[in-house]
Every structure is written in C-alpha cells, then in structure tokens.
C-alpha cells in the first residue's frame, strides 16, 4: 500500500504541473489539442469542444498538446511531451509528411503566434504549480506544529531551527537515577517548587553538590522534587542526582523532549519561503559541483532512488511523507526551469530572447544551444541511475 501512495503522489505532482500549463493556455486563448492523463497507448478519450481528454496506459505522468509549439510548425503535426513539461513540437521529423495549412483562426491562436508574455505565462504555470505545492506543504507543516514534519524540514536545512526543547522527558538513560522513576513523554510541571522549564531544571539539578568529594558517580546531598504529569495524572517524584565528570555537573539522567516551534500564520509563510530558497540554492550548487566532484556525483539519485526514499518517508509517518512530497515538487519546479529545451526554462529563455531581439529565433539555433545542456543533464541522470543500481545491488 505504501508503494501505491508513493506512485500516486509522484504522478499527482507531474499531472498538477501539466494542469498548470493547460489552465493558463486556455485562459490566454491558446488552442489546447489534448490533455492526457498518463502516456499512450490511449485506452480512453473523449472530446469536449476543441480539446481531447485522454487516458493513457502508461502511468508515468501526463502531457499537454498545444498547437504551434514550434516556430516552424503552424501545420498539424505530432507533438511530443517531455515529462514533466509542456508539449514540444515534433515538426520536421524524418519521414513526416507535410499536412495542409491550418485554419487561419487556429493559426492565430497557435503558441508561437502569441505575444512572448503569454507564452512565458503558459510555460511558467507548470513549475509555478509545483512551487505553490511545495510552499503550501512547508507552510502547513510549520503552522500546524507537526513535530515529525518540523524535524524533516530542519534536516533539509539545519540553519532553520524548527524545533525547541521542552520541559518533558524524551529518553531516559539506562542505569541513571531517572530510570524507573521517569518515563518518556512525562511532562515536568515543577522542580523544587519552581515552574519547570529546560533552563530551570538544568539550574536546579546543577546546583546540587555531593555530600563528600565531588567525584564521578557521587550522589547529591538531597534529592530534587518533581511534579510531573503522566497520561493525564499528576505525580510527585523525588530523584537524587549524581555527578557526571564528563559534563562537569549533576545529572538526573534523561534527555529533554522536543516540540515543534510555534509559528504564526505569517511567520510560518516567511520560514517556508526561506526553506524553499535555501534548499533551491543548495540544490543548484550541488548540481554544479556534480560535474567536478566524484563525491557529489555518488550522492545523486534517479527516479528509482527517489521513489525508494519516498517509500521510506511514507513508512516513517505523515509528517515525513508530506515534507518529502513538498521537496520533490520543489525539485520538479527547479529542474524544469533549467534553460534548455525541451525543459520549460528553455521555452522561457527563447521567448525572452525573441522579445529582446525583436524577431524570431530559428529552431535550429535553439536546439544547437540546448543540446549542450541536455547532454550535461543526461550525464547527471545516468550517474543517478548508476548509483541507484549499485545501491540496490548491495
């Protein structure tokens, strides 16, 4: 069941990406020929107006087919989609036949006959949806106070403290004075009559002294008195601290519990954006370093490794799984914005270049530039696949 959740989650992120392209293309008046859930062979399709809605047999994502994605197209042609991303024209393929001219109205609404800002809006809508998903997940985790989610966010970016220690018992040290008296989850209410906090507990316990020489393991002259709450019941305990030479003070023998830091609605939004920014910059830095560092290359994952990590996250709990889903959505957005065709960033780059230049740029020039980037990305993908195969093989 957990693997089913992983596959459904990844496919949902890709499909929502495509839905972003689809919705904005419709909104700005472009002609969307097909919206397909999954890839061919097609097992079901229905036409509503000018758009065909299809269901494919291969559950690897989806695609949107927009008329005129190539400046040389503007004639009916087979259009291919790169998952995840907008359909890229297949015009000019060897052996393809020239089709009759498009209807003038269809030609007017074709992608490459639209203003550059409209094309950029359509292209950015896909990664934009993924960014919104990542933000919504990170924000909701922070605002809700999910401890497992906060811990995962902190592991992604250790510079952001999403958890705080609390006056509760996390783990009891075996063989310590606390063993048999305290239990994990106990909430400490007071210590020697003082309101309990991490600071007050440490101060009171540390202030004790041994009856004789202060040597390792010696017992305090007097016990500390704790009022605790356990499973809804208040209890009174007395525990005699012992001196620990390694830390140079008295200890009872337990670790403090941690809780998710409480964020307001607006503060959580700011932290979520900061988390996304630092994670993105770190991701891009690692991609650059992957071309020069064998150590970084060895850490790369393909979709196989990502799915395995996602599966472990689902098993670890909802908080971990949600954060990992937000991270994957962020990865999809960032990698799709790399400025190489057929990725979304490539389409944005050429729309901007056309705007600056004031005239069309040939498809050949676009692909000559993009071929370098695609080779580099293919290198990273091959490394990721190789790493995952090696890990799975033990």
pLDDT digits (tens, 9 = 90+) for 345-355: 988 998 898 88
Residues of the chain with pLDDT under 70: 1-3, 6, 60, 70-102, 147, 156, 159, 161, 163-164, 300-317, 384-385, 387-394
Structure tokens at 390: 């090696």
Provide the pLDDT for residue 301: 65
Structure tokens at 259: 């809780």
Provide the pLDDT for residue 240: 92
In a 10 Å sphere around its CB, with 0-12 CB exposed, 13-18 middle and 19+ buried, how is residue 30 labelled?
Answer: buried
Residues 6+ away with beta carbon under 8 Å from 353: 361
- Measure Cα distances from 385 to 143, 379, 388 in Å: 37, 10, 5
CA distance 315 to 183: 26
CA distance 363 to 359: 13
CA distance 21 to 86: 7
Provide the pLDDT for residue 99: 44
> What are 235-271's pLDDT values in tens digits?
999 999 999 888 888 999 888 877 777 788 888 899 8
């Amino acid at each position: 069941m957990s693997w089913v959740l992983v596959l459904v989650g990844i496919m949902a992120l890709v499909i929502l990406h495509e839905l972003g392209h689809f919705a904005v293309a419709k909104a700005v008046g472009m002609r969307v020929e097909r919206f397909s859930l999954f890839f061919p062979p097609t097992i079901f399709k229905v036409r509503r107006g000018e758009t065909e809605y299809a269901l494919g047999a291969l559950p690897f994502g989806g695609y949107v087919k927009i008329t005129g994605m190539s400046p040389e197209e503007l004639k009916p042609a087979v259009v291919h989609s790169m998952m995840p991303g907008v359909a890229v024209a297949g015009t000019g393929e060897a052996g393809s036949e020239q089709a009759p001219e498009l209807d003038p109205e269809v030609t007017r609404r074709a992608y490459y006959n639209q203003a550059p800002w409209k094309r950029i809006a359509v292209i950015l809508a896909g990664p934009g949806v993924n960014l919104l998903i990542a933000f919504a997940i990170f924000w909701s985790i922070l605002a809700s106070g999910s401890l497992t989610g906060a811990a995962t966010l902190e592991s992604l970016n250790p510079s952001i403290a999403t958890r705080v220690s609390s006056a509760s018992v996390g783990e009891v040290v075996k063989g310590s004075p606390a063993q048999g008296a305290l239990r994990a989850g106990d909430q400490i209410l007071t210590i020697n009559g003082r309101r309990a906090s991490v600071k007050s507990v440490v101060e009171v316990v540390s202030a004790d002294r041994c009856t004789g020489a202060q040597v390792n393991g010696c017992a305090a002259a007097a016990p500390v008195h704790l009022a605790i709450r356990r499973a809804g019941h208040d209890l009174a305990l007395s525990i005699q601290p012992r001196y620990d030479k390694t830390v140079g003070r008295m200890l009872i023998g337990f670790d403090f519990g941690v809780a998710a830091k409480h964020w307001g609605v607006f503060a959580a939004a700011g932290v979520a954006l900061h988390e996304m920014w630092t994670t993105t910059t770190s991701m891009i830095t690692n991609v650059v370093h992957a071309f020069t560092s064998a150590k970084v290359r060895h850490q790369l994952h393909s979709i196989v490794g990502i799915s395995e990590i996602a599966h472990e996250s689902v098993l670890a709990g909802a908080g971990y799984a949600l954060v990992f889903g937000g991270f994957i959505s962020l990865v999809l957005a960032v990698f799709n914005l790399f400025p190489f065709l057929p990725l979304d960033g490539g389409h944005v780059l050429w729309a901007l270049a056309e705007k600056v230049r004031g005239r069309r740029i040939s498809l050949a020039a676009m692909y000559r530039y993009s071929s370098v980037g695609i080779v580099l990305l293919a290198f990273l993908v091959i490394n990721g696949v190789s790493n995952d195969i090696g890990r799975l093989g033990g």
